[in-house]
Chains A and B, each alone.
Chain A
Amino acid sequence: MRDKDGLDAALFVAWLTAAADAVAKEAPRLTELDSAIGDGDHGTNLKRGFAAVAAKLAQEPPATPGATLQLTGRQLISTVGGASGPLYGSVFRAAGKALGDAESADVPALAAAFAAGLEALARLGGASVGDKTMLDAFTPAVEALRAAAEDGLLPGQALDLAARAAEEGAQETAPLRARKGRASYLGERSEGHLDPGAVSTALLWRTLADAAA
Chain B
Amino acid sequence: MIGSGTVKLVGVVLVSHSERLAEGLAELVRELGGDQVPVIAAGGMDDGSLGTSYGRIEQAVREADRGAGVLLLGDLGSALLTVKTLLDEGVGDEPDRPGAVLADAPFVEGAVAAVVTASAGGDLQAVRAAAEEARLFRKL
Contact = CB atoms under 8 A, between A and B. Distances in A.
Contacts of A89: 85
Nearest to A84: B78
Interface stretch (B52-60, B110-118, B119-127): B52-60
A11 interface: no
Given A83-B77, A86-B85, A125-B81, A77 B54 contact: yes
Interface residues of B, number: 16
A85 B84 contact: no
B81 A81 contact: no
Given A77-B54, A78-B53, A78-B55, A85 B77 contact: no
A45 interface: yes
B129 interface: no
A82 B55 contact: no
Contacts of A87: 81
Interface centre among B45, B76, B78 (most CB of A within 10 A): B78
Contacts of B81: 83, 85-87, 124-125
B77 A81 contact: no
Given A81-B45, A85-B78, A182-B77, A124 B51 contact: no
B82 interface: yes
Given A86-B78, A181-B77, A182-B77, A81 B84 contact: no
A41 to B, nearest CB: 8
Contacts of A81: 45, 49-53, 78
A39 to B, nearest CB: 9
A81 B82 CA distance: 9
Q: Is the interface of B mostly helix, strand, loop or mixed?
A: helix
A190 to B, nearest CB: 15
Interface in B36-66: 45, 49-55
A86 B82 contact: yes
Contacts of B82: 77, 85-86
A89 B85 CA distance: 9
A90 interface: yes
B111 to A, nearest CB: 21
Interface in B57-112: 76-78, 81-82, 84-85, 88
A130 B78 CA distance: 20
A74 to B, nearest CB: 9
A125 B78 CA distance: 10
A83 B51 CA distance: 9
B54 A83 contact: no
Which of A85, A90, A124 is packed against the most chain B CB atoms within 10 Å?
A85
A124 B85 contact: yes
A85 B52 CA distance: 9
A31 to B, nearest CB: 14
25 contacts: A41-B50, A41-B51, A81-B49, A81-B51, A81-B53, A81-B78, A82-B51, A82-B52, A84-B78, A85-B52, A85-B78, A85-B82, A86-B81, A86-B82, A86-B85, A87-B81, A89-B85, A90-B85, A90-B88, A124-B85, A124-B88, A125-B81, A181-B77, A182-B76, A182-B77
Interface of A: 41, 45, 77-78, 80-87, 89-90, 124-125, 181-182
